[in-house]
Structure 1
Amino acid sequence: MPALVPPVCEFDTPVVDFDLPGTDGRRHTLADVRGERGTLVMFICNHCPYVLAVLDRIIRDARDLQALGVGVVAISANDAVAYPQDGPGKMAEMAREHGFPFPYLYDESQEVARAYGAVCTPDFFGYNAEGGLQYRGRLDASRNAAGPSDLRRDLYEAMKQVAETGLGPRDQVASIGCSIKWTA
């Protein structure tokens, strides 16, 4: 399947609430994960080579953004029947093995992913403190293999700007990744 590229940022689109089970055995809502200075909602999954190539960078950037007051959450919406490695049990293993510093939630109905308009993994949605979309771009210039370690940290730099000013950069490069595995 060819890689998908999500649409560009539609500034100020309101953040979508959710109530989803996490790999920690608890349910999480937007209010639980929202940050004082912004919120990053990431759609990822366990098996996508685009996610796996940069997983250590996703974790690094999440920690660095949390230190700036940005709340971070990851959601997997893939069909776990067709892709069992993306089911809740395997998600919990991955979160534990990699020490995810953010909740990793499962959107079994896929309603949340559809409400956000997520199309691929990884797909990043960065909101300001008021809940308006300010970033929908890539993590960095990596593709399905990690690029050099000195690549510009597009996601981090954009969300740092959002945390400091409430506004995202006007120029954004879309993420790229595997399509979300829809059930129907």
Structure 2
Amino acid sequence: MPLSPPVCDFGWRAPDFALPGTDGKTHALADIAGANGTLVMFICNHCPYVVSVRDRIIQDAVALQDLGVGVVAISANDAVAYPADSFEKMVELDQRLKLPFPYLYDESQEVARAYGAICTPDFFGFDADLGLQYRGRLDGAGRNPDAGDLPRELFEAMKQVAETGHGPAEQIPSMGCSIKWKTS
């Protein structure tokens, strides 16, 4: 059953992190933060929602980076129960797709819990001072891989954040598979 995160808590501060990336480096929030905002995405390798929108995520990430928005993706799924989400498989995916942003592994799941991440994908869009301005969906296509002429909600919201420091008042939550929490 798909899950949906809560609405945006405007101004909520981004929790710091330092996590290993598929590029062999450790990345902290300060390393990712952009001059005009920061997008933190919780994704994973296997989720059908993520797989169906991955190309659009990559496209929007590149466009946002051109606007001075830092972008990072974090996977926090239990890799023992879901081997397709293991760090090794994340590295393989990054190498195959040449992701234009750091792809980090939250093995302890502490970062996902600190952010209150609910599902994959789950998007957290912050202003230049790392105050939350967007907690919405990528777009209205859902699991449909062909978005057609639908508005690019995440991109437009983060463009607004980059230009004004404020996200849109109206936001539609993301929808996806639950984060696969460890049971022990």
Tell me the TM-score range normalised by the shorter chain: over 0.9
Partner of 2:25: 26
In the aligned structure 1, how far is the partner of 2:150 from the partner of 2:85? 28
| CA deviation profile, 1:84-138 (whole Å, cap 9, x unmatched) | 1001111011111111000000000000000000000000000000110000000
| CA deviation profile, 1:2-38 (whole Å, cap 9, x unmatched) | 0000000000000110000000111000011110000
Partner of 1:11: 10
The answer to whether 1:113 aligns with 2:117 is no
Figure out how many residues of one structure are paired with residues of the other and give that number. 183
| CA deviation profile, 1:153-180 (whole Å, cap 9, x unmatched) | 0000000000000000000000000000
In the aligned structure 2, how far is the partner of 1:144 from the partner of 1:169? 23
What amino acid maps onto 2:87 in structure 1? P
Equivalent positions of 1:16-95 (< 5 A) are 16-95=15-94
Secondary structure at the aligned position of 1:140 is classed as coil
Secondary structure at the aligned position of 1:20 is classed as strand
What amino acid maps onto 1:165 in structure 2? T
Equivalent positions of 1:126-145 (< 5 A) are 126-145=125-144
Secondary structure at the aligned position of 1:173 is classed as coil
CA contact (8 A) 1:20 1:29 kept: yes
Structure 2: which 5+ residue stretches go unaligned?
none
Shift of 1:147: 4.2
TM-score, with normalisation over the residues of structure 2? Answer: 0.98
Shift of 1:144: 2.1
Shift of 1:142: 1.7
Partner of 2:160: 161
The answer to whether 1:124 aligns with 2:115 is no
What amino acid maps onto 1:82 in structure 2? A
What amino acid maps onto 1:90 in structure 2? K
Secondary structure at the aligned position of 2:58 is classed as helix
In the aligned structure 1, how far is the partner of 2:144 from the partner of 2:155? 19
**Cα RMSD (Å):** 0.7
TM-score, with normalisation over the residues of structure 1? Answer: 0.98
Shift of 1:54: 0.5
In the aligned structure 1, how far is the partner of 2:103 from the partner of 2:114? 18
Structure 1: which 5+ residue stretches go unaligned?
none
CA contact (8 A) 1:49 1:145 kept: no
> Post-superposition, which runs of at least 4 consecutive aligned residues in structure 1 deviate over 3 A?
none
